[in-house]
Amino acid sequence: MSLLPVAVVISGRGSNMEAIARASLSGTSRYRVVRVIADRDSAGGLGRATALGIPTSVVPVKQYADRASFDAALAAELDASGARLVALAGFMRILSAEFVQRFEGRLLNIHPSLLPRYKGLDTHARAIAAGDTQHGASVHYVTAELDGGPVIMQGRLRLQPSDTPEAVSARVHTLEHIIYPHVCSLIAAGRIECRNGAVFFDGAPLAAPLIQENDAAA
Ligand code: GRF
């Protein structure tokens, strides 16, 4: 069985990267992580990847004069890795429309909210401040619109009035570590695909995101 080669791109601690990698190493998924790329050598996830035996590289953002040259270097690194699927996981850069177009349909991101709610930063604090009773995370295909691409799967949990952003962040991460490897597995199995900017699941258009409930984490 050939395994779909996946690259994971990070800026920080890389817990989602590790979840994706561990699921592939368990032998039950049809993908394998062939490279972890960070935009800074201080990214904690680099050490986690090395500990798992995964090759890493750094495209140091500070060494590039502008977004276009950084994006070109990142694209070259991804091409060299042989990856057919790219998972952004805590990658703190906005990518150019040219980059997104080049990897269209094979570029994923995870965002800590129930998109389309709370694009951008501080999602947990914003959900709590709004009095939301549900919150979670979304895995989506990346388009040129920030956090705006079609959503594949969401992990949902209940918010309590007493919740703090820190406590919610930990619970959302637990959900993220379930849904991101799951989506990679579904794509590797050919069950999820992106056609002309729309998500298809088992050959049919996906009318609403797949849902992973986690009330136990509420
Ligand atoms: C996650 O919460 C993800 O939703 C967001 O950045 C965070 C990355 O966490 N995009 P980690 O580096 O995977 O631990």
User: 118-158 pLDDT, tens per residue?
Assistant: 999 999 999 999 999 999 999 999 999 999 999 999 999 99
Q: Is it the case that residue 101 has pLDDT exceeding 90?
A: yes
* Cβ neighbours around 51 below 10 Å, total: 10
The pair of three-digit structure tokens given for residue 92, joined into one six-digit string: 């703190």
What is the CB-side half-sphere exposure of residue 202 using CA atoms within 13 A?
2
* Confidence band, pLDDT 50/70/90 cuts, at residue 161: confident
135 is an active site residue: no
Q: What is the pLDDT of residue 27?
A: 84
CB 108 within 8 A of CB 182: no
Which H/E stretch holds residue 114?
none
What mean pLDDT do residues 96-110 have? Answer: 97
As a whole number of angstroms, the distance between CA 114 and CA 125 comes to 13
For ligand 1, the distance from its centroid to the CA atom of residue 5, given in whole angstroms, is: 21
Of the listed ranges 25-34, 35-44, 68-77, 85-94, the least confidently predicted one is 25-34
For ligand 1, the distance from its centroid to the CA atom of residue 175, given in whole angstroms, is: 11
